[in-house]
Amino acid sequence: MSALQATDLIGVIGAGAMGSGIVQVALNAGHHVVLHDAAPAALDRGIASVADAYQRLQARGKIDEATRLDRLGRLQRGAHLADLSKAALVIEAIVENIDIKARVLAEVEALLAPNAIIASNTSSLSVTAIAARLQRPQQVAGLHFFNPAPVLPLVEIVSGKVTAQAVADTLFATALAWNKVPVRCASTPGFIVNRVARPFYGEALRLLTERAAGVASIDAILRGSGGFRMGAFELMDLIGHDVNYAVTRSVYDALYGDARYTPSLQQKDLVDAGWLGKKTGSGFYQYGADAANPVAPFAALEAAPAAIVVEGDLGVAAPLAALAQAAGIDVSYAAGKGVLRIAGVGVALSDGRSATARHAANAEVSVLFDLALDYAKATAIALACADQAPAGALATVTGFFQALGKQVIVIDDAPGMVVMRTVAMLANEAAEVVQQGIASVQDTDLAMVNGVNYPRGPLAWADSIGTPLVQRVLANLAATYGEERYRSSPLLARRALTGQPFYREQAQ
């Protein structure tokens, strides 16, 4: 499997945000690049933006003058498509319209050598369908960069139905040589990232719709407990609701209205209002100098308990015992079902049931806490209290987590809470991608870590929680809501039956 040579000419069509970013990636790797755009003004803007980007890098001391001039010297203005005729690889980043893409690519295909590779940067169109409109569909693949292309490492190498293995291999090796993190996937709606990421937004929107908590609380929990760089609402505001809602709609429609991807009316309402997020000054949050925004309501300080009892195995939450000890709390152990006993109050990790349902099944548990990426490093934790809980139960548990140095955010008694249901749904979606042969376990996780900055790949995360618990969370959500949305991936259900992780090779 060999990469293109630095001496190979790269052609880029479309000088917008993505095209001009991709140009820089290829120039940085030593290629000569020809950039073409149908609109001469857009072409000039694209070339100017590449020059500006290098100027900024030089000003920040990242590259020297000679490097800047060398890179710019290898960029050629392609006034006509024919200027791309000697390219070994043409990457198309024009308007997201299959008819226009197919027409432009057919035109350039007729000019190229037979072994040249034609790649599309499409985010949502079928690579199979684009390729089918060309003479040499086996030479066509998706090469999906993320915005900004010079910064974000992930590149999805998308194979259409008849893409030659050698073509996908060459693109993979080339992306590696370009210092990117390539992953392979099949041409299916949303590829890996735009499909697996849907529940990150979807569950937050669902919790908001059910008024489990406000946007600032949900974001604070996803960041402080889940370890996500950004909360779902601030991220949607940044992406823009027009774009984020359109991606959800396109995945939902392309998967024939599968309930798992149902778009949110809350988000549609923002789009209808023209509240597209940061770029319009209003979204879930307000932007601008004097914008007044909601802040997460952290619980008031409560007394720390002197002692706790760990009853049975706390599983993924086991580090809480050591943290309690380190905080000067006396910890003793007893047999049981994974419950923390604090001044008589039973506390447990969410398993996808509400605290109220849990209490109804076993009156020993009154308060639930949410999943944390790392209980030692978490700065916040969400709690939910059963309707039947004894008076003072919530204050007692709040005092315990505060003694460990966590900000406590009390949410309404929503099944699966915030991080647990989000991670379970992300892992479920990732399992579907693996089960359907769209991508491997490793590539699916790599894509989510490098494409959207998740703190851990969803499948590795499921392994660390234990596949049986992830499966139980989904089954409980499905039972509570009675909706298709929460049905388990058959692969996850199978792994859970025997307690096997997704990374089986490494576990053995």
Binding interface with ligand NAI (CB under 6 A): 13-19, 37-39, 42, 93-96, 100, 104, 121-123, 145-147
Question: What is the C-alpha to C-alpha distance for residues 210 and 240, in angstroms, rounded to an integer?
Answer: 23
Distance of alpha carbon 63 from the chain centroid: 31
The least CB distance from residue 280 to ligand NAI, in Å, is: 17
Q: Which of 92, 156, 311, 432 is catalytic?
A: 156
Question: What is the C-alpha to C-alpha distance for residues 425 and 446, in angstroms, rounded to an integer?
Answer: 17
For ligand NAI, which is the closer residue by CB, 123 or 350? 123
CA distance to 19, 81, 183, 338, 366, per residue, from 461 (Å): 34, 46, 19, 20, 27
Q: Which of 123, 282, 428, 488 is catalytic?
A: 123
The least CB distance from residue 309 to ligand NAI, in Å, is: 51
Which of 194, 201, 107 has the alpha carbon at shortest distance from 144? 194
The least CB distance from residue 44 to ligand NAI, in Å, is: 10
Residue count of the chain: 508
The least CB distance from residue 118 to ligand NAI, in Å, is: 14
For ligand NAI, which is the closer residue by CB, 171 or 365? 171
Q: Is 107 a catalytic residue?
A: no
Question: What is the C-alpha to C-alpha distance for residues 417 and 428, in angstroms, rounded to an integer?
Answer: 16
- Residue 113 contacts by C-beta under 8 Å, 6 or more apart in sequence? 86, 88
Q: Is 194 a catalytic residue?
A: yes
Q: Is 144 a catalytic residue?
A: yes
Question: What is the C-alpha to C-alpha distance for residues 363 and 138, in angstroms, rounded to an integer?
Answer: 62
Q: Please, are residues 495 and 501 in contact by the beta-carbon 8 Å criterion?
A: yes
The least CB distance from residue 455 to ligand NAI, in Å, is: 22
For ligand NAI, which is the closer residue by CB, 104 or 431? 104
- Residue 401 contacts by C-beta under 8 Å, 6 or more apart in sequence? 369, 381, 383, 408
Q: Please, are residues 389 and 367 in contact by the beta-carbon 8 Å criterion?
A: yes
- Residue 159 burial by CB count (10 A; 0-12/13-18/19+): exposed, middle or buried? buried
The least CB distance from residue 344 to ligand NAI, in Å, is: 53
Q: Which residue is nearest to ligand NAI (CB)?
A: 16
The least CB distance from residue 198 to ligand NAI, in Å, is: 16
For ligand NAI, which is the closer residue by CB, 42 or 166? 42
Q: Please, are residues 227 and 217 in contact by the beta-carbon 8 Å criterion?
A: no
R_g of the chain, CA atoms, integer Å = 25
The least CB distance from residue 130 to ligand NAI, in Å, is: 10
Question: What is the C-alpha to C-alpha distance for residues 347 and 341, in angstroms, rounded to an integer?
Answer: 6
440, 372, 312, 502: CA torsion to nearest 10: 0
What one-letter code names the amino acid at 226?
G
For ligand NAI, which is the closer residue by CB, 107 or 484? 107
The least CB distance from residue 13 to ligand NAI, in Å, is: 5
Q: What's the token pair of residue 272? A: 């209808």
Q: Torsions phi, psi of 181, nearest 5?
A: -105, 100
Say which DSSP state 486 is in: G
Q: Are β-strands 367-369 and 380-385 bridged in parallel, bridged antiparallel, or unpaired?
A: antiparallel
Question: What is the C-alpha to C-alpha distance for residues 398 and 348, in angstroms, rounded to an integer?
Answer: 13
For ligand NAI, which is the closer residue by CB, 193 or 473? 193
Q: Which of 85, 121, 159, 194 is catalytic?
A: 194
For ligand NAI, which is the closer residue by CB, 15 or 140? 15
For ligand NAI, which is the closer residue by CB, 46 or 202? 46
Which of 3, 91, 69, 75 has the alpha carbon at shortest distance from 32? 75
For ligand NAI, which is the closer residue by CB, 93 or 424? 93
For ligand NAI, which is the closer residue by CB, 70 or 96? 96
The least CB distance from residue 409 to ligand NAI, in Å, is: 32
Q: Which of 32, 36, 144, 359 is catalytic?
A: 144
Q: What's the token pair of residue 449? A: 């870590």
CA distance to 16, 19, 68, 98, per residue, from 39 (Å): 10, 13, 26, 19
- The beta strand positions in 101-226, using DSSP E, are 117-120, 140-145, 154-159, 181-186
Q: Please, are residues 345 and 369 in contact by the beta-carbon 8 Å criterion?
A: no
> Active-site positions?
123, 144, 156, 194
